């Protein structure tokens, strides 16, 4: 779980997850474009690729390679596990 919290600690990675939750299955070029256009980030493709690697290592992304392109998909499973870890108190 530490990997998940570490991955979510960075604002750029949270923005990437926001973009993928809005439209899943994006390639690196599309993610770069969206971060620049919607959020005004001027960040290199290499830096975004490293952020994607951190998210994938934490299990928050899955990827699918088709030809020369790699498509990224948001995986909410680890976030669900976190929310289920601490039981909710019942109101009395």
Q: How many domains does the chain have?
A: 1
Poorest-pLDDT segment among 8-12, 24-28, 35-39, 83-87 = 83-87
92 belongs to a structural domain: no
Confidence band of 87 (pLDDT split at 50, 70, 90):
low
E runs forming strands in the chain:
26-27, 61-66, 69-74
76 belongs to a structural domain: yes
* Cβ contact 37:22 at 8 Å: no
90 belongs to a structural domain: no
54 belongs to a structural domain: yes
> Buried (b) or exposed (e) across 57-82, using 16+ Cβ within 10 A?
ebbbbeeeeeeeeeebebbeeeeeee
Per-residue pLDDT at 86 exceeds 80: no
pLDDT attached to residue 83: 81
Residue 35 belongs to domain with CATH number = 1.10.10.10
pLDDT attached to residue 92: 60
d(CA 63, CA 85): 26
pTM: 0.86
The boundaries of the domain holding residue 35 are 2-85
Mean pLDDT of 60-71: 96
């Amino acid at each position: 779980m530490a990997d998940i919290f570490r991955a979510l600690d960075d604002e750029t990675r949270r923005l990437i997850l926001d973009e993928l939750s809005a439209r899943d299955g994006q390639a690196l070029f599309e993610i770069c474009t969206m971060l620049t256009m919607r959020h005004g980030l001027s960040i290199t493709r290499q830096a975004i690729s490293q952020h994607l690697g951190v998210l994938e290592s934490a299990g928050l992304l899955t990827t699918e390679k088709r030809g020369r392109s790699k498509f990224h998909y948001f995986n909410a499973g680890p976030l669900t596990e976190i929310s289920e870890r601490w039981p909710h108190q019942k109101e009395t």
